[in-house]
Amino acid sequence: MPGSDQRRLIRQTGDWRAMRAAFRWNVPEYFNIAERCCDSWAAADPDRLAIVHIGDDGGMRPWKYGRLRQAADGLAASLAARGIKRGDRVAVLLPQSPEVMIAHFAVMKLGAVVLPLFTLFGEDALRYRLADSGAKALITDEANTERAVALMFDLPELGRIYSTSARAQAPVLSLWGEISRANGPWQTARTLADDPAVLIYTSGTTGPPKGVLHAHRFLLGHLPSVEAHHEGFPQPGDRGWTPADWAWIGGLMDMAMPCLYFGVPLVSHRMRKFDPEEAFALIRAQALRNLFLPPTALKMMRAAPAPVGLGVRSVSSGGESLGADLLEWGRAVLGAPINEIYGQTECNLVLSSCAGSMQVRPGSMGQPVPGFEVEIIDGDGRVLAPGEQGEIAVKAPNPVMFLEYWNKPQATAAKFANGWLRTGDLGIKDEDGYFSFVARDDDVINSAGYRIGPSEIEHCLTGHPDVVMAAAVGVPDALKGQVVKAFVVLREGVRRDGLEAALIGRVRARVSPHVAPRAVEFVDSLPMTATGKIMRRKLRDARDGA
């Protein structure tokens, strides 16, 4: 793949320790994501394929880098003419589509800050993020234009709304009309690598959402893991896709932006609701080779009939730990190992498994990525010995780390301890340097003096052929403080007679009697965050309020 090799940050050797030892960060003083992911390719090869959009009707719309840059330049000129300047926040409320990248690059060309928003957000969630960020403009589609206009009256700083709708009229601006009226190329701002670029709000599972402000350099911080867990990415013929929405750091930075950085064709396709059979069909029709599939998607795909000979080369997954059964299914059905990755909005892709460079251990997220120092620490920020449970922490500073929580200096300071970024996730590192996720700190079950993480229980339950998803939580118990209760989603049509006892016995025999659920409740679905993580807190709250 001409031009891509020179962009790689790590040299694949087949030995993880050697790759880590040889790695050195080389972050330039000046760096702009739009310049590197769009302008540079457009200048070198304007006819190179950037994005393939698959519409709801199955129609295919290809975008080459030259056209992508032209559209981004036009939108940048329009935004500038309407007062958007360096440092201003511009919200993007769009489903997966080329317009998302056009909007991102246009905003970055001005040295302004992109605020990605999820299209399924309700009115309150949108209002909070737009108000808290002080967004000056919003770019959206026809389906969301009406509610965007309604929000303008409550948000005096939100002065401009752009819509992809062909019927846009005042006070809404036509996105494509504005782009078509622009003349000539736009000179991309010369930004420092440390200048703000993206503001992504946390999902709010542990309190009100916080705006996580990232610099342009955070793209470079993602690349060592992407290159590794996609097994020497990029390779000739690579083609990437994820069902994860590009409004979240997983969809945007684990797949979309790295593809464009490396000149790998990126497929965009909006799924209003994830459909595993549709996903299989898309993988085959588009000859997709590189996938980022959240655990929920993988579990749903495992429960659906799958075609043979998909031709997938690499798969990554993160957000919830995977079990051995799901990993085995991935290799057998998808034809590629599923490499687990770990990170969070504030500091993404710091741990990874990599089948081509290390022995993959089921239940483990792998080892620290080249360029990262990760440890388990106690509450005072002291590094714990292998085998001890504590908080997963990342040594600061690092190119992928966030700049700050937006307008929350105290929360920013509390995120760090003794030179470590605290993730809030509990884990264990073994003697060989492999990390295992235990739970979010508030998901730990305290039963009769034991601290029980839900992941191992859930892995065991989902290994049963009739179980699609499972969640384990602690419920009050007069004697033990808490006992384990499991919530289980079954395959359609499965008989439940005797299944509760069988599942409890499975955990008792395969994991340990002390972690076996006291009860199993069968449910139609589990509460999930917008990024596909199980919201165990909601299950606990529902039980406590019953």
Last residue within a domain, chosen from 215, 249, 265: 215
> Of 146, 180, 215, which closes a domain?
215
Tokens of 491: 């395959």
Indicate if 529 and 416 belong to the same structural domain.
Answer: no
Q: Check whether residue 319 and residue 461 sit in a common domain.
A: no
Number of domains observed in the structure of the chain: 3
Q: Are residues 359 and 467 in the same domain?
A: no
Instruction: Say if residue 241 is in the same domain as residue 206.
Output: no
> Tell me, what DSSP letter sits at residue 256?
I
- Domain with residue 480: its CATH number is 3.30.300.30
How far apart CA 205 and CA 143 sit, in angstroms, is: 27
Residue 490 lies in a domain: yes
| Rounded Cα gap, residues 139 and 100, in angstroms | 9
The rounded Cα 318 to chain-centroid distance in angstroms is 8
> Has residue 432 been placed in a domain?
no
In sequence order, the β-bridge partners of residue 162 are 139, 173
The whole-number mean pLDDT for each consecutive block of 10 residues of the chain, a chain of 546 residues, reads 76 89 96 98 98 93 97 98 97 97 98 94 87 97 93 92 91 95 92 98 68 98 97 96 93 97 96 91 96 90 90 91 87 94 95 94 93 96 96 97 97 95 94 89 66 77 92 83 90 92 90 86 88 80 56
Question: Which tokens sit at 429?
Answer: 């590192």
Separation CA 161–CA 179 (nearest Å): 14
Cα 454 to Cα 116, 282, 307, distances in angstroms:
31, 33, 32
Q: What is the pLDDT of residue 30?
A: 98
Closest CA to 537 of 203, 206, 120: 206
- What pLDDT score does 378 carry? 95
Question: Where a domain ends, among 163, 187, 215?
Answer: 215
Considering the domain architecture, whether residues 486 and 511 belong to the same structural domain is answered as yes
Tell me, what's the pLDDT at 545?
A: 45
Q: Are residues 327 and 354 both part of a single domain? A: yes
DSSP result, 360-391: --TT--BEEPTT--EEEE-TTSPBPPTT-EEE
Assess whether 223 and 326 both reside in one domain: yes
Q: Residue 376 domain-assigned? A: no
pTM over 0.95: no
Q: Answer yes or no: do 65 and 161 share one domain.
A: yes
Return the amino acid letter for 201.
Answer: Y
CATH of residue 65: 3.40.50.12780
Could you list the residue range(s) of the whole structural domain that residue 536 is in?
Answer: 444-544
Q: Is residue 322 located within the same domain as residue 343?
A: yes
364 and 231 in one domain?
yes
Residue 428, in any domain of the structure: no
